[in-house]
Each structure stands twice: as structure tokens, then as C-alpha cells.
Structure 1
Amino acid sequence: MKLLIDFFPIILFFAAFKVWGIYVATAVAIAATVVQIGYIRLKHGKVEPLQWLSLGVIVLFGGATLLAHSETFIKWKPTVLYWLMGGTLLVGQLVFRKNFIQSLMGAQIDLPAPVWRNLNWGWTGFFATMGVLNLWVAYNFDTDTWVNFKLFGGIGLMFAFVIAQALYLSRHVKDEGDAAPKDLQP
């Protein structure tokens, strides 16, 4: 159910685009994100900062798309969101010496500091790459191709990255009976 809630705005954006075009789809995405945030707040009482950020970015860039009647703004929205997330990880690591990936996942998984650092850099690079890739598709292909990429390509690449990350983590996660991960034992 959580996955459906998470993908609710993009699925509605995709469907609305296929039926009515980019401007109606943009309005639908804004409305769906507002509904999503309202639902999360009612159901869980708390909305995560990333969800608020996503709402702000869709309202800002979606609103600009509708007001200026230019699809350029909505095409920049994923890139801005990716770069904000990657930039947050980068600034956290370099400026504040804080690993936000570890802060987010540290209670669920016990990993050595170098592995946390690699995860943080991996996600930073992934978000930077996704931002560039989104712009490349947006400026080199038609809007229909961009929308398809936004849904299928973006989610597919995220899924592939998470699988690769899981494989990487599997080498470092401690078993209940192990004192240390295999590659850290003498």
C-alpha cells in the first residue's frame, strides 16, 4: 500500500498525460501530491521532509509550467529534486561530516563506517546522474518519450540501483552469529 501511495502522483500524471496532455497532467500531479501529503498526514500524523520538499518542487515547477504555459519547467522538476537530494547528501558528508544515509538507515542495519560512506557517495552519484539523464531525455526527445522515461526509465533505474546496492550490502551485513563481516575478518 505504501508503494501505491508513493507512486500515486506519478501514475496519475502519466495517465493524465496520455489522455489530456502535459498541462492537465501537470495540474493532476500537483493535486495528487497535495492529496498524497494530506493522506500521509492524516494516516501517520507526520510528513517526512523529503515529501514536503517534493510537494514544494511540484507546486513551484508545476505552477510555473501552468502559468507560463511552458512544459520546460515540469521537465526540470525531476532534475531539481534529484539534485537537491544528491546535494543534501553531499553537503551533509563534506560540510557537516554527517552521513544522512546512515542516519536514515542506521537503526535497521549495522555496517562499518567505510560502507556507510560508500553508500552515501553512491546515492549522491546516482542522484546527480539521474538529474543529468532527465535533462538529456527532456532536451533530446519529444515530451511523450520524456514522460515514458520519467515513469518507466526513472523507476527502472532506481530499482536497478537498489538491487545493486543490496548486492553490495549483502557482502557487509553481519549475520547474527558473526563477529564481523567476511571481508573485515582477519
Structure 2
Amino acid sequence: MRQLLEFIPIALFFIVYQLDGETVSLGSWAYTVDGIFTATAVLMVATALQFLVSSLLSRHVEKRALWTFVAVLVFGGATLLLRDQTFIQWKPTIFNWALAIAFILFRYVGERTLMERTLGTQLQLPHAVWLRLNAVWVGNFLFVGALNLYVAYSYSEATWVSYKLYSAIGFTLLLTVLTALLISPHLKDDDDGGPDARAASDDA
């Protein structure tokens, strides 16, 4: 449910952008959609609502959701105030590269990676697997950030908007699959194992 909520603001951003130049009327009120600027405003509102609903459903504030909301607020606000879409186009890159830096730093601070610190109470995995997961996620963040800039500066604004929607879905699914492939053999080991596996299962 929460994963589905994450895509709603991006989907609305895409939909509103497609209405560029059209007039939306509600009774005596009428508004002409102003391309990426209206879409950005909708993205900001939708992200705020998504963050609120997600926090209420999980009954706690997830750090990733919080930083996503802050990033959209800052870069979206700059886009609207300065009437420059460059800020919202850079937002995915800055956000993903910031995550990559965080994952790299935590890799060398202490004995556990950021993912192990976050999910270690739910998953019992060998340290080498946590390191591989960390490397995969860092690679994903770096690649996604770089590809976003390539599309933004090499293609039209409309192409970038479409890319933003489909890449968000595509890369999320790809990262989920890769993560599952790395984790699943060890989950099977836990199921087939002895007392240690059962203990790990009880702790999860």
C-alpha cells in the first residue's frame, strides 16, 4: 500500500503536465495549466499528502519519505519562485546521489551498512550479503542520478517528464528484483536450517 502511494505524486505530475495550455473550470473558477510549473505545484501538494498518509498508516515517520518530501519542497519551491524548471529536473539527481553518499559513508562507519542498521532486526543475512546489497543500491542511486541528467539535457522537457514517471517505476521494480535475488537464497537457508534458523525467524 505504501509503495503504491509513493508513485501517486509522480503520476499526477505526469498527468497534469500533459494538460499544458488547457483550461480547467470548476463553476466560476477557471485555471489554465502552465506546463511544468503547474505540474510541479501539484507534485508538491501530492507529495505532502502522500507523506502525511504514509506516516499515519505506518504510525511513524520514515526517514526516506521525510527526505523525499523535503527535497520536493525545496527544489519544487525554487522552480516556482524562480520560474526555472532546472531545479525540479535536478531534484532526482541530487536526491539519488545524496542517498548514494549516505550508503557509502555508513559502509565505512561502524560495522554495519545502512541497510543492515535499518533491516537487521527483520532479516538475518551474512555480512557479505549486506555488503553486496549496499553495493547494488549505491550503484543504482549513482546510475539513476546520472541518467536523469543525461535525459534532462539531451532530450525535450516533455521527454524528461515521461522518463521521470516510467524510470521511477522501472528502476524501483529492477532494484526490488535484484534485492530479492540476493536475499532469497538465504531466506531458503533459514527455512531449511536448524535451531539457528528458527531463532532468526523468531527474532524477525
Match of 1:84 among 98, 109, 112: 98
After superposition, residues 36-55 of structure 1 pair within 5 angstroms as: 36-55=50-69
- Could you tell me the percent identity over the aligned residues? 36
The equivalent of 1:175 in structure 2 is: 190
Runs of 4+ displaced beyond 4 Å: none
CA-CA distance at 1:97 after TM superposition? 4.1
The equivalent of 1:19 in structure 2 is: 19
Match of 1:159 among 149, 168, 173: 173
Q: 1 CA distance for matches of 2:39 and 2:9?
A: 10
Q: 2 CA distance for matches of 1:86 and 1:22?
A: 27
The equivalent of 2:109 in structure 1 is: 95
1:4 and 2:18 are equivalent in the alignment:
no
The equivalent of 1:70 in structure 2 is: 84
- AA paired with 2:158? D
SS of 2:45's partner is helix
CA-CA distance at 1:164 after TM superposition? 2.3
Q: 2 CA distance for matches of 1:9 and 1:175?
A: 38
Q: 2 CA distance for matches of 1:175 and 1:46?
A: 29
Q: 2 CA distance for matches of 1:28 and 1:112?
A: 43
The equivalent of 1:184 in structure 2 is: none
Instruction: Using structure 1 for the length normalisation, give the TM-score.
Output: 0.88
The unaligned stretches of length 5 or more in structure 2 are 21-34, 198-204
CA-CA distance at 1:126 after TM superposition? 0.9
CA-CA distance at 1:6 after TM superposition? 1.6
Q: 2 CA distance for matches of 1:22 and 1:62?
A: 10
Q: 2 CA distance for matches of 1:119 and 1:54?
A: 21
CA-CA distance at 1:109 after TM superposition? 2.1
Q: Give the alignment's Cα RMSD to 1 decimal.
A: 1.9
The unaligned stretches of length 5 or more in structure 1 are 182-186
- Equivalences, count: 181
- The structure with the larger Rg is 2
Q: 1 CA distance for matches of 2:66 and 2:185?
A: 34
1:124 and 2:138 are equivalent in the alignment:
yes
Q: Structure 1 pair 103/145, CA: closer, same or farther in 2 (3 Å)?
A: same
CA-CA distance at 1:162 after TM superposition? 1.8
- Higher alpha-carbon deviation: 149-158 or 130-139: 149-158
